Structures are given as C-alpha cells and as structure tokens.
Amino acid sequence: MLDIKGLRARVGAKEILRGIDLHIGAGEVHAIMGPNGSGKSTLAHVLSGRENYEVTGGSVTYLGNDLLAMSPEVRAREGVFLAFQYPVEIPGVSTTYFLKAALNAIRKHRGLEELDAMEFLTLIKDKMQLVEMDQVLTNRPLNEGFSGGEKKRNEILQMAVLDPTLALLDETDSGLDIDALRIVAGGVNALRREDRAMVVITHYQRLLDYIVPDFIHVLYDGRIVKSGTKELALELESKGYDWIKSAVALAH
Amino acid sequence: MITTDSKERYLAAYKQAQSHAPKRAPAWLNELREAGMASFDQLGFPTTRNEDWKYTNVERIAAQSFARANGEAKRVSAGEIVARSLIDPAAPRLVFVNGVYTPELSQTAMLERGVVVRSLVDFIKEDDGTAAARLGRYASGRHQPLVALNTEFLKDGAVVSLAAGCRAEQPIYLVFVSTAGSEPVVSHPRTLILLGAGSEAKIVESYLGLDGGGYFCNAVTELVGGPDSVIEHYRLQQESDTGFHVGSLEANLERGCHLTAHAVSLSGALVRNNVRITLNGEGSACVLNGLYLADGKQHIDNFTEIEHLKPRASSLELYKGILSGSAHGVFNGKIVVHKDAQKTDARQTNKNLLLSADAVVNTKPQLEIYADDVKCSHGSTIGQMDSDALFYLRSRGLGIEEARSLLSFAFASDVVGRIKIDFLRARLDEYLVARFGRK
C-alpha cells in the first residue's frame, strides 16, 4: 500500500529525515517509536503534505501513485488520514459542520453522492459511540475548549467518519489519562481492517499495550535504525532509547 | 486647497438651497442649519493632519462636486431593495432614496402601539417642539466637520420614537438607498431615535447603494436612550463600489439604559463609521459589535468613541475586520473615563484578518482614564490566516479555497452570533457564505 524509499526532508536548512525506507502493506499496523526529535512527527506531516517541510530526496508511492505529488487535500481524498498530535482549535465552525464538508469533499472526489444533513447525522451519531462522544461536543466549535482527551477522541471520530485507507496517528497517546487512552485505543482497534493500514507514532510503549502493532520501527536521527515485531517495544521499554543511541554510535 | 474649494462649493449650495427653501421652515431649523453652515465653513473637510482622521483621507470626497439629490425614486423598486439588502420584507420600514422619504416603498401599517416612525419632514410638521428640543443636541458639528455638513443641509431622515414602557417586538428598518443619477449626488439623511424610559426597540439602519455611479451619503443619527431602555441598533453598510459613506451615530444613554450598537460594513469605496456613545447615567451599558469586510481598493474606517461620564457603567467592544486585495481598514477605539465614572468596566477588542499581502490595517486604541477605580482593557490583533488551521482542514479533504472560506466565515462568526434579530443573522450568514465562497 505504501512504499517509502530513501525519503529525505528538511525544515529550513535542517535535515530531519535522512533516508527513510519503509514498506507498509494493507491490513498492517506499524508502530514508529523513537526519542524526541528523531523525526517521527516530521514523517507523519511529510506523508500528509504539510508545506513547511521540503522533501529533498526519495519517493513515496501510495496505492501505485506518487504521494508526494499530491496536495494535502488530494491525499486526504485518496484515503490518507493524519490524527494530529495537537488538533487545531477552530472557533466558529462546529465539528459536525466541518466534518460533513470534509466527508462530502472526499465523496465528491470519489464520484459518490454527497450526503445530506440527515444522512450525515445518522452516520456521525453511529461513529460517536465508538469514541464515547456526546453530541453536545460535536455541535460545539471544533476543538475549542476541548480537553486533551476530547480532542484526541475527536480525531478518532473524524477518522471513523472519513474512513481512510491509510491512517497516521501522531502521538495520539500524548496528554491522555488512562481512561481516555483506553477509549481512544478502543476506537482505533475497532477501525482495524484488512484493507486499511495504520501507522502509530508514539514515544512510549504504553499505547502499544492497547494498540498491538504488527511491526515496530525505531526512528533515530532521521533514519529507521531498528525494525522488529511487537517484542521490540518491550525491549525498548526495559533498555530505554539510550540502548539504540549507543548501538547507532557504535555502528559508526 | 481642495478644502477651500470644497468649502466654497458647499457654501454656495447652501445659499442656493436657502434661497429656494420655502419660508415655512421653522426658525429653530434655520438656526440649526445656519450653525451647521458656520461650523463647516470654519472646519472644512478634515485632513489627515486631524488626529481623528489620520488614516482616512477624504480628499476624494472633498474634491468631487455632487448635486443635491431630488428624490428621483422611480427606478427603484421594493423588490430590488429587498433582494439587494438584508432587510426583512415583512417588517415595518421607511425607505429613503437619495435622502428623500419615499412613502410608496415604505410600510408602516403594522407598527405596534406606542411606536412612532415618521419621516423627519412629517415629524417636524406634527411635533415641532420635540424636534426643536432634540435635533442637534446630541450630534454636535462644532468639532465634527461631517456632522456640521449634515446639519447644514439637514432636511429629511427618519424619526423613531417609543413611548415610556413600550416594548416593540418587531424590528424597525430604516433603509437609505443611494442611486446613481446623471451626475453624482449627495444626501445628508438625519435620523432621530428617542426611547422613553423602560422602552425596548430593535432598529436597523440599512445603507444600500444601487447602480454603479458615484455618490456621497453623509448620514447622522442621534439616539437618546431613556432610563432603563434597551436598544439594539444596527447599521448595515452595503454601499456600492463607487459610493462614499460617512455615517455618525451619536448616542446618549441615561441611567440603566442598555445599548447594543452593531456596525456591519460590507462594501463601499470609502466608508467611515463614527460611533460616539455617551454613558450619561449610572449603570448604563453599551456593547459595540462590529464587522467590516473590504477588498479591492476599498477603504473602511471605524471610529468609535465611548465617554464614561457616570459611575458603574460598562462598555464592551468587539470589532473584527477581514481585508483582502489592497483594501485599507482602520479601527480607532477611544475610551474616555471621566473623573466621576468610578467602577467603570470598559473592554475593547479589535481583530483583523488579512487575506492578502497588499491589504493594510491601522488599529489604534486610545484610552484616557481620569478615575482611579476602574477596569479597562484593550487588545488588538492583525494576522494572516492561521496556516496550522488551514492545513488541518486541508488534511481532512477540504480544498484550499473551501478551507480559506470556512476560516473567514469562522473568524466573523462571533460577531455575527451577537446579532439578535434571527432574520438578519440568517441573511448575513447567507451573504457571508456566498461572499467568502466566491473567492
């Protein structure tokens, strides 16, 4: 589904991704771990088309197409979804209104009929149960005054409604207490599907107790330095990131 | 130079008007006009050397000669006014075309008891005493050249008067239409709003430009809020792209009076809104709610001035502007807290969204505080569209234009949300969706 080859990207003069190679197949859940500043969030943003990052090398092929040539909105319409680490607050636009506009933009792109207000309401109500969200919240301005947990649940709600093919979850666990984490992870697990891939980016092993990945990659200094299965997370948990850092230093 | 020329031109027009005027005009009215003439002759059009006009150059208005409008109303239809403005076709209204009352476009049959709505000409005929006592008392031309000019040519306009305790449910619309004639025209509509003790009213002044010709609308409204009266006052500006507009609202609020003054400016070549509110009674309160949109080469200036004269009065002001093209926006927020106005609570916010590199905003808070036990705050922002928000929306599938449009709409939403006339709020929402959508 997604083929990343030798991907390099920078912000200003600073090179953050220094040659990423990654293959993700349909139905797989990959976790990307790594210490702060290793390039995890940059990878997520580059994949979703954030303009502050300049891609300086490599390629990304998504469902056979050049992902990097697409605008952020086209990527979204083609099925790429990014759950933000810091969801943006937008006063004056309700989640319901915004999400209906987004879904219809995606449906239009795919040649599907746009949903009317009633059809959309039925859909969103159904998806809200998944993340235990109240309608009061979705009628309020998007993320404005939401708690950390509410914002993250709102991200997963959006994911459920927009029904992506490739979901990128950027530090979805940050700022969540254990109850919120359980709800969010439960929502994500319910959305696992054979034709959908997920990339879970996290600093901590904790999230992976709830969302069990098929593969784990350790990102350090802009490169994937170690890949493995879920046992790798436990090893990281017990040895810490210093273990990776010194291994990399040794290899040089 | 232009100022001198224009002064002479208006003086000549005044003399001509007076010589043709029927001798029936009451003496007090002639005196009022004479005083306006004398003030304008002394002040002339303001220049940018005048601190209050620092960012707004009215030379374009001063340099042009305008014919006095004669009320050629035949080409205007009620249907066109309703379609082009935001007014409720079912509500009572007075319509003025180029400053002249036009009964055939107006509707007053459904007015509630205790509510008087008249053209100024008719009102003076019926109640000379009230008009003589009130007109020119709140809007003084002594320091304000455009108020002086309006007074010099004071002739027609609207009067809305509510008896004590009268609560009008229906909004009252005053529609001032400017149409292009064979030559540019000027009108000086004068409106008087009198609210008796404990009365409640919603009054909408709608300024509408039809056709593409040049004109100058120089409107003055005097508003007196009696004790404990509650007023929602709206000024909707939809002047044409070649229209000049200077509008002044001069409000005097007595004890416990609560005024919400909305100013929504949607178009016009050069627009200046003066809002001067005198909190002249204990516990009086005003809320100022402004939205201004400008694009192309439009210039829109909101000059607000709140005088806190008495204790325990409050003022809450929020003005928001969205500017694109090479438009120029100006906001001036003056608050004066006089020495007796203890326990004053005054808050002011101005926020501007610039959608293009060439759009300009000047924002200036001006606080003068002579009392010691007060709460005063002000803040202003000028910013571009939030790139994080834009990316967030695009990452969900919204196209860049749709995302921009949604964020512009969102920016205006809190100001729009304060509009309490449901019909008007819905119409403005529709207007904004269409306007932002087409960009």
- Contact assignment for A76 to B412 by CB distance below 8 Å: no
Q: What are the pLDDT digits (tens) for B329-375?
A: 999 999 999 999 999 999 999 999 999 999 999 999 999 999 999 99
| CATH at residue A165 | 3.40.50.300
pLDDT of residue B141: 84
Q: What are the pLDDT digits (tens) for B120-162?
A: 999 999 988 999 999 999 988 888 999 999 999 999 999 999 9
User: How many contacts (CB atoms, under 8 Å) link A and B?
Assistant: 76
Range 72-101 of A in CB contact (< 8 A) with B: 72-73, 75-77, 81-82, 84, 87-88, 90-93, 98-99, 101
pTM here is 0.89
Distance (Å, whole) CA B435 – CA B294: 11
List chain B residues with CB under 8 Å of A91: 410, 413-414
Whether A187 shows a pLDDT value over 70: the answer reads: yes
For residue A235, count CB atoms less than 10 angstroms from its CB and return exposed for 0-12, middle for 13-18, buried for 19 or more. Answer: middle
pLDDT of residue B19: 79
pLDDT of residue B70: 66
Which regions of chain B are under pLDDT 70? 1-3, 21-23, 70-74, 438-439
What domain range includes position A241? 2-251
Q: What are the pLDDT digits (tens) for B98-127?
A: 999 999 999 998 899 999 999 999 999 998
Mean pLDDT over A161-185 rounds to 91
Into how many domains does chain A fold?
Answer: 1
User: How confident is the prediction for chain A on average, in pLDDT?
Assistant: 92
Distance (Å, whole) CA B88 – CA B320: 25
A-interface mutation test, from B394, B409, B418, most A Cβ less than 10 A away: B394
What is the per-residue DSSP string for A178-213? HHHHHHHHHHHHHT--TT-EEEEEESSSHHHHHS--
Give the up-direction half-sphere exposure of residue A77: CA atoms within 13 A in the CB hemisphere: 20
Distance (Å, whole) CA A114 – CA A109: 10
pLDDT of residue A204: 84
Q: What are the pLDDT digits (tens) for A16-72?
A: 999 999 999 999 999 999 888 899 999 999 999 999 999 999 999 999 999 999 999
List chain A residues with CB under 8 Å of B388: 88
Mean pLDDT over A206-212 rounds to 90
Whether A167 shows a pLDDT value over 90: the answer reads: yes
> Pick from A90, A98, A105: which is nearest to B399 by CB?
A105
- Contact assignment for A48 to B395 by CB distance below 8 Å: yes
pLDDT of residue B404: 92
- Contact assignment for B397 to A90 by CB distance below 8 Å: no
| Helix-helix angle B422-437:B400-417, to 10 degrees | 160
pLDDT of residue B3: 60
pLDDT of residue B439: 44
Mean pLDDT over A149-167 rounds to 94
Is residue B132 within 8 A of residue B32, CB to CB? The reply is: no
Nearest-by-CA chain B residue for A76: B397
pLDDT of residue B181: 73
ipTM greater than cut 0.90: yes
Range 189-248 of A in CB contact (< 8 A) with B: none
Share of chain A above pLDDT 70, in %: 100
pLDDT of residue B280: 97
